[in-house]
Structures are given as structure tokens and as C-alpha cells.
Amino acid sequence: MQEKVMPAVTKFTNFHFVKCMQEGIVACTNATMIGSIFMLLLIPPFPAEWTGGIFDAWRAFSAANAGILNLGYTLGINFAGFYILLGMVAAVCKEEKVPVVNNMVLAVLAYCFLHCSIVDGNLTIGLFGAQGMMAAIIVGYFVPLLNIWFKKHGLRIKMPDSVPPFVSEQLEDMLSSFAVAAVVVIVKLIFGAFDTTLAQFINKLFGPIFSGADTLAAVLIYCIVVRILWFFGIHGNAVGNAVVNPIITMATVSNLEAVTAGGKPSIIFNSCFQQWTTQGILFIVISILLVAKSEQLKALSKVALVPALVNIGEPLTFGLPLVLNFDILVPYLIVFALCGFTPYMACKLGLMNIPYVNIPFTVPAILKVFFMSMDWRAVVVYLVNGALCVAIMVPFMKKYDAKLCAQEAEAREAE
């Protein structure tokens, strides 16, 4: 496993496109969090029959400030694809060690040219939100690479050293920029001949994948594969997120757009729901606190508890250790599978709202699950799932603790 799988996983995570996508797609994170706050202020997250006090005050504030709140939501959520475009260009330029500015301008021009139009003399802006994310990844990746390729093959104006860098960088890119623009025009004409756009084509092409991703099977596969990778010392979240992030980020923005339009979130496996799948770390720490008699586990529980409360699992992962620890592999996988299964089924059965609000990763889980769904029932689901996970983990942890106690006793006798 170590000899065959780890090199393959390392090769995948170091693949140029994957590295750039991992870095580029998170560019929209803070903007969508800000947009989520504006959305909650714009659309009160409670039933219409709830009246009086803070509920009426919230509605009055929303109505009085609808314009600015809607603007904040629109720029935060409906432009998420645009921010990913910028992030992709920055990531590519960082990897290629080339200046960012002109490549970013080129990519913005290319994306807008491919997806905008003039109607009655006005520029129409579309596909900057969820529906444009995949196209933004493609354009943000290939436009700077195409510009770099043209320059390497002679399409550049060599400027003397006396010219200031901020001037020479733009002039040197002039010929390659025209070449990139020509390619973009050709692409526009090709898709236009079929009465579609790049984004619409990509969304139709990947439609079955997007639909298949929002299933219980996909959630369980993700949870188990990520934890198996962690078991072998590989950063499972980094690898797993490289695969699913474009899909679940797009799902989150789609849910936010649906809520703002007066509907309800419909895609369960999104980047907010993904945060449920990491909650097992705290439950494992709690099981250790309940049974620990060995010095190793007593010390570990003190070190790992606070990080686990803010969803940081490395102290437990490498301190227990979870890596290559066959004594707790089975319950470890079951616990994290439950952390996907329980909330997914709760959402599917209508026992709690689908998470749709972006919340920082380090917010304590019991608060985060409420704010992500704006539903008190999510806290109940979290507590029930936590109790199940701890109950499953305790017998195995007792056995492992007894093994450690025996080893520590042998070590003391040997001294």
C-alpha cells in the first residue's frame, strides 16, 4: 500500500492542474461567507408565522435595507465563479513564476467575451455564479498558460532594461495577448455556431457527475476514502477535496441562489455539508476521555481536546496515533461514515434543513451545525450522531487503552 498507493496519490496531488485548482477554487470562500451573511439579513431564516420582538425587527431591517443587502449578496454569491477565475489565474502564475496582472486581465476579458453579450446597448453579465464555476476554472487555467506558451514561442516584444518593469511587462505581452484574444474569438464562434456557450457546454457535459455526486453512496465513499488515506499518513482531506471541491462549491452557491430566489436548498452534498464529515475527531477524543487509564491516552486527551473543539484533528491523528493503528481502524471508519450517513439521511428525510450557509471551519461544531442550516434540529442530529459515534468507539478504545496500560507496565518493570 505504502509503495504503490502513496506515490500515485502524491503524483495526483502534484499534478499541475490539480495544484492550481486546489489553490484557485478557495478564492471564493471569504466572498461566499460574506454573501451568506448578507443573504441571512436579507431573507430572515425563520417561518412567516413567527412574529414579535426580534422577528419583526429583523423583517423591518431587511425591508428598509433591501437594496444594499441584495447588492452584498449578489457580489458575494453570484460572482463566486468570477472570484474562482481570479484565483485560478493567480495560482497558475504562482506555479509558472510569471507576472499576474496581464494574465489576470486577459482571463477576465476572455471569460466575459465568452459569456457576456450586448442587449439594447447594455452589457449583460451572466454565468458568474454557480453555473459559471467550471468554465471559470477552465478559462482561468488555460488563458495564462496559452499566453505563456505564445511568449515562449517568440510572440513577445523584448524591451530594453531601462524600461520600468511595470511598463515592460505589459508591452512584452502585447503580441501574445493579441494571439490569446484571437483564440478566444474562435472559441466563441465555435460555441456560438451551436447556440451555446463554453459554460453551458461544460455544465451539460458534467451534468451526470453533478447529479451523481449528491447521493448517499458518494458521501460514504468520500468519507471512507478520506479516512483510509489518513490511516496511511496521507492528508486525506487535501486529496479528497481536490476531487470534490469544484462540485460541492458549485452546489453551495446553487443552494444560496435558490434560497435567495425564495426556494429551499436542494443539494445535500455541498461544501457546507462537507463540514459534517469531519466531526468524528471530537467524538473519538470524548471516547478517550471516558475510558483513558493509560498515561499515553490521558496525556493525549488533554492535548487533543481543545483543537478537536475547533475541528483540528492533527494532534489526535498523529498522537493516538490513527496512522497505521489497526487496533481502531474499523471503528474509526465506522465513526466517520456515520458522520456522513446520519446528517445526509436527516436532510433526505426532512428531519433538518440542508446546510447552505458558509461558516468558518474553526467554529465549534455544535454552533456551526446550527448556523449552517439555521435549524435547531441540526443540533439534535449532531448530538444523536455524537452519542452513536462515542458508543461505537468506547469498547474499542477500552481494549486499546488496556493494551497501552500493559505496555506501560512492562516498560516500568524493565526499568
Residue predicted with more confidence, 341 or 128: 341
The DSSP result for 64-107, as a single string, is: HTHHHHHHHHIIIIITHHHHHHHHHHHHHHHHHT--SHHHHHHH
Tens digit of each residue's pLDDT (9 = 90 or more) over 354-411:
999 888 888 888 999 998 998 999 999 999 999 999 999 999 999 999 998 998 888 8
Mean pLDDT lowest among 67-71, 310-314, 327-331: 310-314
- Give the C-alpha separation, 126 to 74, whole Å: 12
Tens digit of each residue's pLDDT (9 = 90 or more) over 260-308:
888 889 999 998 999 999 889 999 999 999 998 998 898 888 888 888 8
Tens digit of each residue's pLDDT (9 = 90 or more) over 12-36:
767 888 888 888 888 888 888 888 8
Share of the chain above pLDDT 70, in %: 94
Mean pLDDT lowest among 39-43, 107-111, 157-161, 314-318: 157-161
What is the pLDDT, as a whole number, of residue 398? 93
What is the pLDDT, as a whole number, of residue 106? 94
**Residue 394 near residue 291, CB atoms below 8 Å:** yes
What is the pLDDT, as a whole number, of residue 389? 95
In this predicted structure, the answer to whether residue 210 has a pLDDT above a threshold of 60 is yes
Phi, psi (degrees; rounded to nearest 5) at 269 = -80, 85
- Which residues lie below 8 Å from residue 188, measured CB to CB, with a gap of 6+? 113, 114
What is the pLDDT, as a whole number, of residue 290? 92
User: What average pLDDT does the structure give for the chain?
Assistant: 86
What does the domain layout of the chain look like in residue ranges? 23-78, 81-203, 211-414
Provide the 10 A C-beta neighbour count for residue 172: 20
What is the pLDDT, as a whole number, of residue 96? 93
**Which of 18, 24, 25, 126 shows the shortest CA–CA distance to 78?**
126
Q: Which residue reads 444594499 in cell numbers? A: 68
**Residue 254 near residue 271, CB atoms below 8 Å:** no
Tens digit of each residue's pLDDT (9 = 90 or more) over 231-241:
877 777 777 77
For residue 89, give the 3-state DSSP assignment: helix
What is the pLDDT, as a whole number, of residue 2? 54
In this predicted structure, the answer to whether residue 187 has a pLDDT above a threshold of 80 is yes
In this predicted structure, the answer to whether residue 317 has a pLDDT above a threshold of 60 is yes
